[in-house]
Amino acid sequence: MNILLTNDDGIYADGIRILANILIENGHKVTITAPDRERSAAGHSITINEPLRAKKIGLDEAPNSNCIKISGTPADCVKLGLEKFVDKKPDLIISGINNGANLGYDVLYSGTVSAAIEAWMLGYTALAVSLAVREEKNFKTGAFYINNLLKKNENILLNEEKMLLNINIPDIVEDKIKGVEITKLGTGQYEDHFEKRVDPMGNDYYWMAGKNKDIYIEGTDVRAVADKKISITPLSLNLTDFTQKRKLNKFLNK
């Protein structure tokens, strides 16, 4: 396949380099257009008030590939990459492998998922791939799974009906994975709080901290990853609340 890779951890991050290397070793043609620095939690922001700068670099893991670092957000990297830096229209766009899970409401903040959403909006099948990092950072587990997914499901992935898949992989070695589950988004979220601190000039500033507050409901991505399964959640972008729409039509259009 002809694949465009991006992420939100930056072009030098382990996840994207390991994934690129394994895909290339298995015969895929890879182009990388990724941020020049970490852009985690950038969401679906795009750059409109300053220029984007792009520079071709060399990566040992992708020696014969076009690798471009871009000064913008993950969504910028997809948009600019597709217009200016791919030699041939990609068959597939992959965002990741992210250093950390993107479960439940995380998808609304995630630069990783937003890059995949941008690709899907532009008419491509797109995968957002995240490793639920704990300690070991088994990016190869994720990379081998994605490579096998492409090998076994090429016909589905290259179908005319474009898909947007959010994939989360437990941070364990490959032979400890307990299967793959097609899931729905859970309701995992953060318990945020802001620590007040004082800088050397005596000025107050605030630093967001907190921890995950996961709810382990059967059938959700949160539960699947906790059960050492790979979670695949198909996403869509229709945010219309049809129940409320019907109620409003009933009461406001009397």
Given this model, what pLDDT does residue 250 score?
Answer: 86
Average pLDDT over residues 45-71: 96
Residue 52 pLDDT level (bands cut at 50, 70, 90): very high
Given this model, what pLDDT does residue 207 score?
Answer: 87
Given this model, what pLDDT does residue 254 score?
Answer: 64
Distance CA 65, CA 16 (A): 13
Burial (CB < 10 A; 0-12, 13-18, 19+), residue 254, is: exposed
Assign domain 2-186+217-252 to its CATH superfamily. Survival protein SurE-like phosphatase/nucleotidase (3.40.1210.10)
- Geometric angle at alpha carbon 233, from 239 and 155, rounded to 5°: 110
Residue 190 pLDDT level (bands cut at 50, 70, 90): low
Residue 54 pLDDT level (bands cut at 50, 70, 90): very high
Q: Is 43 left (phi over 0), alpha (psi -120 to 50) or beta?
A: left
Average pLDDT over residues 184-189: 82
* pLDDT tens column, 225-235: 999 999 999 99
* pLDDT tens column, 5-42: 999 999 999 999 999 999 999 999 999 999 999 999 99
Global pTM reads 0.93
Residue 214 has pLDDT above 90, yes or no: no
Residue 210 has pLDDT above 90, yes or no: no
Tokens of 253: 């259009």
Q: How far is CA 65 from the centre of its chain?
A: 21
Residue 188 pLDDT level (bands cut at 50, 70, 90): low
Percent of the chain whose pLDDT exceeds 70:
96
| Angle between the N-to-C axes of helices 14-25 and 139-152, in degrees from 0 to 180, rounded to the nearest 10 | 40
Residue 251 pLDDT level (bands cut at 50, 70, 90): confident
The number of C-alpha atoms within 13 Å of 135 and in the hemisphere containing its C-beta is 0
